[in-house]
Structure 1
């Protein structure tokens, strides 16, 4: 059986929302674990098999998946009937996978760097800067309400997530702010937040 190791109010909340979107809650064992927090609370949980004690971490029998982009792709392929990702052969498949990789390799480092006040030419050359990130999002969202056009996908769920957690980090661009608001209005967003607040999943 699939098992998700999840810590409330963390990066794994995105995967909790994804499971709701996929209609896969009954097919996945959600195990709450503790993690060290930025404020000094929490601790590494021996019940969490992630090699660094982080979340999310997904196991599937003897196999495992870590990093949110990979977990999103894996779960969407396991539950294709939900229609949250273009499957192999779909003309939007490459764009979907590119957005997942863009989040991990560009967007999250840029947002975290902004939060930390990092300003360095090598950082910008490697990961880009906030203006470049905003330009890529604006280009995509100018063609439709979602990253792949007219249809909401798991790429939207992943990429809007940092701006839902840290609204002050969201670029002050109307098309991006409207997109974040649309994504946050989906029932899975409120459901995941309620699960984390209520202490159960």
Structure 2
């Protein structure tokens, strides 16, 4: 059985939600991590090489980074229909959004949050406005990133705005999409569990 190493109220919370959405048989092991406020610390029970979360272990397979874990799990549990598998329509868009999140969205959001800007960064990663425009141009014509149906790409890409609403762009299409994603029963249950754990 796969095992997810998870710290409540962290990036791994979205993977806990995904596991529930998939109806997947995955064991969840809670560990502590170093927090931005200085609390927590490396947990010897956590096999992640940097003691971070999420970290998924499935037999000999060890997967880190949320986009990779999302892809691994949606391919492993395709019956849930949360991500097109190889050969299905929409696979290219799905992969593009997962990698866009990991390679563009999260770094750009972190740079914006930290108040850092440099021409080299914006030329390579793009800037916050460009990232917002990319989301908006998709969401102004359809309710979800892949069209009419919610996918794990929506779960991943909406996650920073659910975690820190102050980071949400001032765009109606994006705000409405985040609200639709937040309204998912699995998202609500994760939020409630983690409020209780805090």
**Cα distance in structure 2, aligned partners of 1:126 and 1:16:** 31
**Where does residue 34 of structure 2 map in the other structure?**
36
**1:174-189 to 2 correspondence within 5 Å?**
174-189=172-187
After superposition, the C-alpha distances for 1:73-99 in whole angstroms (9 at most, x for unaligned) are 000011111000011111200100010
**Where does residue 22 of structure 1 map in the other structure?**
22
1:143 to 123, 141, 144: 141
**Hey, which bits of structure 1, 4+ residues long, moved more than 6 A?**
none
Specify the SS of the correspondent of 2:79: helix
**Cα distance in structure 2, aligned partners of 1:22 and 1:161:** 17
**Where does residue 75 of structure 1 map in the other structure?**
73
**Where does residue 92 of structure 2 map in the other structure?**
94
**Cα distance in structure 2, aligned partners of 1:99 and 1:125:** 20
- TM-fit CA distance, 1:143: 2.2
**Cα distance in structure 1, aligned partners of 2:193 and 2:60:** 28
Specify the SS of the correspondent of 1:4: strand
After superposition, the C-alpha distances for 1:142-198 in whole angstroms (9 at most, x for unaligned) are 221000010100000000000111111111010000000000010111111122233
Q: TM-score, normalised by structure 2?
A: 0.98
- TM-fit CA distance, 1:113: 0.3
Specify the SS of the correspondent of 1:5: strand
C-alpha RMSD over aligned residues: 1.1
**Where does residue 49 of structure 1 map in the other structure?**
47
Q: Structure 1: 5+ residue runs without aligned partners? A: none
**Cα distance in structure 1, aligned partners of 2:117 and 2:72:** 35
**Cα distance in structure 1, aligned partners of 2:76 and 2:59:** 14
**Cα distance in structure 2, aligned partners of 1:18 and 1:28:** 11
- TM-fit CA distance, 1:31: 0.2
Specify the SS of the correspondent of 2:4: strand
- TM-fit CA distance, 1:199: 3.3
**Where does residue 62 of structure 1 map in the other structure?**
60
Q: How many aligned positions are there?
A: 198
**Cα distance in structure 1, aligned partners of 2:193 and 2:52:** 19
Q: Structure 2: 5+ residue runs without aligned partners? A: none
Q: TM-score, normalised by structure 1?
A: 0.96
